[in-house]
C-alpha cells in the first residue's frame, strides 16, 4: 500500500482473495456476527481440537490404563511427541523442548535451576513492563534464596512507558547480575526484543539468560538454539490455540542437559527408569528432566491439532501474514481514526513488532465494552490500552477494516459514554 492510496473495503476484500490463509478460516469455530480480535489472549477453538479431545477421551474410555502405551497417541510419550512438533516454532532441537506445566510453574522450575547466587552475583535482571506473574515468581525465588527482592530484583526502566530499549537492558548487565529473565514480546505494547543480541551480550558477561515467549510463540519465529538462549517458557493458549489453561511449554539449551532441575519429581527421571521405582533419581538428559509431575493428557489434546496446523502452514508464512495484516490495521488507524484520541503504542517497524496492535485511548475501558456490544472482541489492558490481534489463521482483512470502522463510530457517536469506567473482572 502506498501512503497516498486510500484503503477501502473493496481493497480489503481484494487482499482476502489473495490470502492463502483464507483456507484455514474454516478450520476454526468462528461465530456469526462477531469479529474476534483477542487471539493474543485466548486463541479460538479449532475443529481439529474438538476431534483430538474426543479421540483422547475415547482412548481413556476404551483402553483405560493401557492408554499410557497404546492407541494413536500413547499418553506416556505424548509430551515428547508434542515437543518434537513444537520445536520448529522456536528454532530448537526436539530434545530441548518439553510441553508441560503452566507458564508460572515453569518459570519457578527454570529460575530455581539457573538462579545460583554466588559471591557478589546475587541479582536477577528483568524489566518494569513485564507481566506481573513473572515478577511475582522472580520475587519468590529471590526470597527462597534468602535475599530481599527490593534490593536483588533489578527492573530496567522504560523511557516512554511503552517500550524497553535493548541498550538500557545491556547497561544493567553488571557483575552483580546472576540471571536475566525477559519477555520476548512486551505484553502491552507488543514490542519484540532483540533476543539474539541480548543473549550474546549476557553471555559475554558470563550471565545466563532466559525468556518468556508467551506473546511471541506462534506469531514470531525464533532460533533459540542458534542464538544460545539458556532457557525459555511459554503458554500454548494464545497464538497456539491450545485452549483455556492449556498445558504450557519450556525450552532448555542442550548444553545444560544432565544438570539436576531445581524442582524434581517422578517425571524428571529417565523414561526407561521411571517405573523402576527407585528412590535415587536418574535425571533425564533432555528438557524432559524439567517436568515435575504426570502430564495432563486431556489438556494436551488440542495442542496436537494446533501443531498439525502450524506444520502445514509454516511459521515463516504465519509471520509474513501477521506482519502484513497488522501493518494493514495500523495504516487504517492512521487513515480513519485521526483526531479521535487514538494513538498507536506498538513499534511501527516490522522487526520490532510482535503479533498484536496496541491502541491507546483515554477511554479504552469504555471503548472496549462498546466494542463487545458491537460484535468485536478486543482485549483491554488498563488504564488506556486496547489490544487487537488479527490472527494469521482466521482473521480476514475485511474484518480488520470493519473493526477500525467500529472504533471510529464508537468515538464519533460517543457510544462509549453509556458504559461505566470500572474495569471488568477479566479484561
pLDDT in tens, 30-42: 999 999 999 999 9
Task: Summarize the annotated binding site for pyridoxal 5'-phosphate as residue ranges.
Answer: 103-104, 131-134, 212, 215, 237, 266, 294
User: What is the average pLDDT across 8-25?
Assistant: 97
Indicate whether 197 belongs to any domain. Answer: yes
User: The pTM is what?
Assistant: 0.96
Indicate whether 167 belongs to any domain. Answer: yes
d(CA 304, CA 48): 9
- Greater model confidence, 185 or 277: 185
Domain residues for 388? 9-30+314-410
Residue 427 pLDDT greater than 80, yes or no: no
Whether the CB-CB separation of 234 and 214 falls below 8 Å is answered with yes
d(CA 261, CA 60): 31
List 46's β-bridge partners, or say none.
Answer: 28
Last residue of a domain, one of 278, 312, 346: 312
Domain co-membership, 363 together with 292 = no
Domain co-membership, 134 together with 184 = yes
Residue 4 pLDDT greater than 80, yes or no: no
The CATH number linked to 230 is 3.40.640.10
- Residue 126 burial by Cβ neighbours in a 10 Å radius (0-12, 13-18, 19+): buried
Residue 117 pLDDT greater than 90, yes or no: yes
Indicate whether 249 belongs to any domain. Answer: yes
Residue 330 pLDDT greater than 60, yes or no: yes
Strands (E), 71-140: 97-99, 123-127
pLDDT of residue 338: 97
d(CA 69, CA 61): 14
pLDDT of residue 5: 82
Last residue of a domain, one of 257, 283, 312: 312
- Retrieve residue 274's grid coordinates: 521411571
Task: Summarize the annotated binding site as residue ranges.
Answer: 103-104, 131-134, 212, 215, 237, 266, 294
- Retrieve residue 302's grid coordinates: 488440542
Tens digits of residue pLDDT in 222-272: 999 999 999 999 999 999 999 999 999 999 999 999 999 999 998 999 988
Domain co-membership, 260 together with 353 = no
d(CA 51, CA 70): 18
Q: How would residue 426 be classed by pLDDT, with cut points 50, 70 and 90?
A: confident
List 97's β-bridge partners, or say none.
Answer: 251
Cα within 13 Å of Cα(18), Cβ side: 10
Whether the CB-CB separation of 318 and 392 falls below 8 Å is answered with yes
d(CA 218, CA 240): 5
High-pLDDT (> 70) share of the chain, %: 99
The CATH number linked to 390 is 3.90.1150.10
pLDDT of residue 271: 86
Domain co-membership, 153 together with 280 = yes
Domain co-membership, 184 together with 302 = yes
Domain co-membership, 202 together with 274 = yes
pLDDT of residue 424: 83
Indicate whether 423 belongs to any domain. Answer: no
Indicate whether 251 belongs to any domain. Answer: yes
Indicate whether 39 belongs to any domain. Answer: no
Amino acid at each position: 500500500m502506498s501512503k497516498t492510496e486510500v484503503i477501502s473495503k473493496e481493497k480489503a476484500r481484494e487482499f482476502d482473495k489473495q490470502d492463502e490463509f483464507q483456507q484455514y478460516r474454516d478450520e476454526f469455530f468462528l461465530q456469526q456476527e462477531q469479529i474476534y480480535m483477542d487471539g493474543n489472549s485466548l486463541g479460538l477453538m479449532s475443529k481439529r481440537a474438538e476431534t483430538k479431545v474426543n479421540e483422547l477421551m475415547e482412548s481413556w474410555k476404551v483402553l483405560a490404563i493401557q492408554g499410557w502405551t497404546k492407541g494413536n497417541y500413547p499418553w506416556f510419550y505424548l509430551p515428547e511427541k508434542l515437543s518434537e512438533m513444537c520445536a520448529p516454532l522456536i528454532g530448537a532441537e526436539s530434545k530441548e523442548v518439553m510441553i508441560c506445566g503452566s507458564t508460572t510453574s515453569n518459570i519457578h522450575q527454570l529460575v530455581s535451576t539457573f538462579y545460583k547466587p554466588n559471591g557478589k552475583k546475587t541479582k536477577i535482571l528483568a524489566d518494569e513492563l513485564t507481566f506481573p506473574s513473572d515478577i511475582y515468581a522472580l520475587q519468590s525465588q529471590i526470597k527462597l534464596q534468602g535475599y530481599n527482592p527490593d534490593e536483588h530484583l533489578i527492573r530496567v526502566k522504560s523511557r516512554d512507558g511503552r517500550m524497553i530499549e535493548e541498550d538500557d537492558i545491556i547497561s544493567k548487565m553488571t557483575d552483580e547480575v546472576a540471571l536475566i529473565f525477559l519477555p520476548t514480546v512486551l505484553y502491552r505494547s507488543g514490542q519484540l526484543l532483540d533476543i539474539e543480541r541480548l543473549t550474546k551480550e549476557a553471555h559475554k558477561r558470563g550471565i545466563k539468560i532466559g525468556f518468556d515467549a508467551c506473546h511471541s510463540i506462534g506469531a514470531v519465529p525464533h532460533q533459540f538454539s542458534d542464538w544460545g538462549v539458556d532457557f525459555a517458557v511459554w503458554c500454548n493458549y494464545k497464538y497456539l490455540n491450545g485452549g483455556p489453561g492449556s498445558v504450557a511449554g519450556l525450552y532448555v539449551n542442550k548444553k545444560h542437559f544432565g544438570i539436576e532441575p531445581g524442582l524434581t519429581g517422578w517425571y524428571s527421571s529417565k523414561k526407561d527408569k521411571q517405573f523402576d521405582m527407585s528412590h535415587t533419581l536418574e535425571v533425564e538428559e533432555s528438557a524432559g528432566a524439567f517436568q515435575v509431575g504426570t502430564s495432563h493428557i486431556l489438556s494436551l489434546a488440542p495442542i496436537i491439532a494446533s501443531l498439525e496446523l502450524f506444520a502445514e502452514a509454516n511459521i515463516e508464512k504465519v509471520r509474513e501474514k501477521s506482519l502484513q495484516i497488522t501493518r494493514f490495521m495500523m495504516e487504517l488507524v492512521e487513515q480513519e481514526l485521526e483526531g479521535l484520541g487514538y494513538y498507536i503504542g506498538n513499534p511501527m517497524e516490522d522487526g520490532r513488532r510482535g503479533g498484536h496492535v496496541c491502541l491507546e485511548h483515554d477511554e479504552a475501558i469504555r471503548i472496549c465494552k462498546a466494542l463487545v456490544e458491537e460484535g468485536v472482541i478486543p482485549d483491554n489492558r488498563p488504564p488506556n490500552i486496547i489490544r487487537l490481534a488479527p490472527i494469521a489463521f482466521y482473521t480476514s482483512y475485511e474484518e480488520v477494516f470493519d473493526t477500525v470502522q467500529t472504533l471510529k463510530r464508537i468515538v464519533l457517536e460517543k457510544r462509549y459514554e453509556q458504559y461505566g469506567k470500572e474495569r471488568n473482572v477479566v479484561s
